[in-house]
Amino acid sequence: MVVIDIRHNYTSQYSFRRTRRSISTPRELSPASGTVFNNFPRNTILKWSTVSGLAKYGVEIDCYHCCQRGRWCTDVGRTWKVQDNVTNTSYNFNFVGAQPDRWRVWAIDNNGNTSAKSRW
């Protein structure tokens, strides 16, 4: 017995998978890790490498002793300062005092996709 399958009315199904372009993480340039500021007010300029073709950058600054004594703000579930609409490769701010701080940066493309955050 021979079975012949003749299809006259059928549809094809296609699956599309959007591939997300990997966005490079900016690299911190200055101030160098371990830099100590002794001036007051503590005007601080953060600088990082350019990631081409991006709309903006985000910067997070963390503070030690600011949210809870002996802890980083992020360690107790809080944020000290986040700026996510920086359009150049530097950010200038006045830090609150003489306690330690740390920072990290990430890139944001025109669609709102973000790179991984740099290390603290």
pLDDT digits 0-9 by tens, 28-77:
999 988 888 777 778 899 999 999 888 899 999 999 999 999 999 999 99
pTM of the model: 0.76
3-class secondary structure for 24-79? CCCCEEECCCCCCCCCCCEEEEEEECCCCCCCEEEEEEEEEEEEECCEEHHHHCCC
Please report whether residue 89 resides in a domain.
yes
Tell me, yes or no, whether 21 lies in a domain: no
Q: Which domain holds residue 92?
A: 28-108
1: in domain: no
Instruction: Tell whether 10 is covered by a domain.
Output: no
- Structure confidence at residue 54 (pLDDT): 80
Report yes or no on 20 lying in a domain. Answer: no
Q: Residues 68-89, buried b or exposed e (16+ Cβ, 10 A)?
A: eeeebbbeeeeebbeeeebeee
If one counts the domains in the chain, the total is: 1
**Does residue 11 form part of some domain?**
no
Tell me what pLDDT residue 16 has: 53
Q: What is residue 2's predicted lDDT score, i.e. its pLDDT?
A: 56
Which candidate, 59, 63, 114, places its Cα nearest to that of 89? 59
Instruction: Report the pLDDT averaged over residues 82-107.
Output: 91
Does position 98 have pLDDT exceeding 60, yes or no? yes
> What is the pLDDT averaged over residues 104-114?
94
* CATH number for position 72: 2.60.40
Question: Higher-confidence residue: 6 or 43?
Answer: 43
**Residue 3 within any structural domain of the chain:** no
Predicted confidence at residue 58, as pLDDT, reads 97
Task: Confirm whether 56 is domain-assigned.
Answer: yes
